[in-house]
Amino acid sequence: MGITGCMGGASGHAYSAIYVSPDGDDRHTGSASQPVASLTRAMELAQALPAGGAGTIWLAEGRYVLTQQLELSSLQGQANQRNILWSAMPGTHPVISGGVAVTGWQEGTDGRWSAPVPASIQSGFRTLYINDHRAIRARWPDTAYLRMSEPGTDNRTNFFFTEGDIPPVADASQLELVFLHDWSITRIPVQSIDWEQRHLVARDTIGTRSLDFFTLTGWEPHPRYFLENAREFLDAPGEWYCDQNQIYYQPQPGETVGTMSAWVPQLTTLLRIRGGRGIQFRGITFEHSAWELPERGYPGIQACMYDDRTTSGRQWASVPAAIELDLASDVVFRQCTIQHTGGSGLWIRQDCHYIRVDSCLIQDIAGNGINIGEGQDRMVDGQPWWRVATDEVSTDNHITNCRVEACGVEFFGAVGIWGGLVAQTTIAQNELSNLPYSGISIGWMWDTISTPCRENIIANNHIHHIMRILSDGGGVYSLGRQPGSRITGNIIHDVSINAGRAESNGMFLDEGTKDLEIANNVIYHIAMSPLRFHRAASARVADNLLSCNNDIPPIRYNRTPEDNIVKIDNMILSDTIAADQVMREERIRRLRATWDRR
């Protein structure tokens, strides 16, 4: 059970403004002079607000540590609804955290620090934060990658490595293998390592079982991998390791025991809104969520969907988010920060409408930054929801003016903003950067079948320095039929790494893409083609400025008849010094126009 506050319930006297402070007392009234201490008590006071009224819960400076997830719901109907604003006090930066503080650090003679595992931690953990940054789980090699030598007989569960690649460790069963596929990764426990035979065996298949082409040799030649979680790997500043009783940390230059702050996240979800209406959050930071890997690992498929190995059929599970919404409407997150998560950041899921995320910072996220809508897998009366319950599609949601960076730091196949089968979604005027895979992904059907996905707008975003680890993606990635949808006015550049078998592009319009307009975008400094279509059915490409090297086509057609793509008045430049100047001037002009509209 979480901490539940139904914005519909008891009536009676309550302050229309409720004040909360870490220095408060839950026996107080919640007035400005007598603030309460906990978010739980603030919700109890909010329950007593008159039905149909409004109130503000003011958070003072400080950290509000949750021991259970915060749950807000209003399923009693609009008549009992209260409009509640959760707001930072002016000039303050309150933090809602799902972490447990780690104290008692001692300096060791070997230069490492150690501290006891906090008694309140009930299970294992895979993330540690030191002085507001994500410490590095002890890994080998420290920054580079190893390369698979040869696959084992089944080409799925084991492989051979080159002599000297993996140093001996006392307990190989504690190791986690991180294996890179073109557009996704697998994180999986190691079953055993035979150093004499140079043979590594994973606990299950390396890659999903639900797709036959996820063999070890289906990707770039000699795919990349690395290993985590051995005390023998704790050899570089910023790394950490934990056994059953102690946490060990290799400090970075300038860090001191006396001034350090350390946190271990324990809550998977910090905030859940189910059926909420008229709820707003302003100026609040949410941080320190956790997610433990399934026992048999995380075989990523795409965009933080993974193979659920508890079922025999094709059932894709999803990495959870720190904040999740279902059946919600008229919810606003403005000037908030979501950071330091063990899963994804924010997920606007089933049957959500008029959700606005505006001027927020999304950073240091293990999975996707922001998710909107659903995939294919939810069933209603034994049928896929998108066939029999199309009215449950999430619509009219807006992500605007946000900064999304450093997502996918644990699960490299993540995207900055993912929109599944959604309708009338607007993703506009955001900046996305420093991502291992794609920037924005829209659509979730690998053919042209009709779904509720329609009339989505991706406009005036600045997307750069993405695809930095994986491949087969782009600044914008699309799937399936999307009538009335437009990708327009975006600036995409510096997709400079092309690591896998497949291309990295400015935009990748993948299988089933149909009824899509791509207009007035600027795309330059791309490793391969600015636009790529793969098994696409139709699109209109007009008034775009595309720049690439002379030996690379500006538009590539993989298994796509070129006649399917209507091209009108596009400008093609070569990536030369002169072209760079044109691009810079055009980028500045469009960015200024975008900011003028804000």
The phi and psi torsions of 48 (rounded to 5 degrees) equal -85, -5
pLDDT at 10: 37
The answer, yes or no, to whether residue 76 has pLDDT greater than 50, is: no
Residues 6+ apart with CB under 8 A from 595: none
Strands 462-464 and 431-433: parallel
Residues 379-414: pLDDT tens digits?
Answer: 999 999 999 999 999 999 999 999 999 999 999 999
Q: Report the 10 Å Cβ neighbour count for 574.
A: 13
DSSP secondary structure letter of residue 252: P
For residue 77, the model assigns a pLDDT of: 46
Q: Angle CA(156)–CA(161)–CA(163) in degrees, nearest 5? A: 165
pLDDT at 137: 98
Q: Would you call the peptide bond into 141 cis, given omega within 30 degrees of 0 as the criterion? A: yes
pLDDT band at 13 (very low <50, low <70, confident <90, very high): very low
Q: What is the pLDDT of residue 12?
A: 40
Distance CA 112, CA 127 (A): 18
Please state the φ and ψ torsions of residue 246, each to the nearest 5 degrees: -130, 145
Least confident of 64-68, 72-76, 220-224, 461-465: 72-76
DSSP characters for 258-327?
GG--EEEE-BS-SEEEES-EEEEEES-EEE-B--PPPTT-EEEEETTEEE-TTSSS--EEE--EEEEEES
Ranking 206-220, 322-336, 575-589 by mean pLDDT, the lowest is: 575-589
CB atoms within 10 A of CB 512: 22
Higher pLDDT, 491 or 590: 491
What pLDDT shows up at residue 8?
A: 38
What's the confidence (pLDDT) of residue 564?
96
Q: Which residue has the higher pLDDT, 232 or 49?
A: 232
Full-model pTM: 0.95
**Percent of residues, the chain, with pLDDT higher than 90:** 84
User: Is residue 89 classed exposed, middle or buried when 0-12, 13-18 and 19+ CB atoms within 10 A define those classes?
Assistant: middle
Q: How would you write 44-110 as a 3-class SS string?
A: HHHHCCCCCCEEEEEECCCEEECCCCEEEECCCCHHHCCEEEEEECCCCCCEEECEEECCCCEECCC
The pLDDT tens digits of the residues spanning 211-262 come to 889 999 999 999 999 999 999 999 999 999 999 899 999 999 999 999 999 9
- Residue 315 — pLDDT band, cuts 50, 70, 90? confident
**Which residues, in sequence order, are CB contacts of 92 under 8 Å at separation 6+?**
59, 60, 61, 283
Of residues 14 and 538, the one with the higher pLDDT is 538
**Using one digit for the tens of pLDDT, what is the confidence trace for 370-381?**
999 999 999 999
**DSSP bridge partners of 88:** 59
